[in-house]
Amino acid sequence: MIIGIVAIADNLAIGKEGKLPWHYSADLKHFKQTTTGNAVVMGSNTWRSIGKPLPGRLNIVLSRRAQLDSADDLLFLRSENEAVDLAKFLNCDLYVIGGAKIYAAFAPFIDSWIVTEIPETIENADVFMPADYLDGFRLADVQELDGGLGVKRYDRA
- Map out the domains of the chain as residue ranges: 2-156
What pTM does this model have? Answer: 0.94
* pLDDT for 66: 60
* pLDDT for 68: 56
CA angle 120, 98, 8 (to 5 degrees): 15
2-156: CATH superfamily: Dihydrofolate Reductase, subunit A (3.40.430.10)
* pLDDT for 65: 72
Question: In whole angstroms, what is the distance from residue 59 CA to residue 73 CA?
Answer: 6
* pLDDT for 69: 63
Residue ranges for the chain with pLDDT beneath 70: 66-71
* pLDDT for 53: 93
pLDDT digits over 75-112, tens only? 999 999 999 999 999 999 999 999 999 999 999 999 99
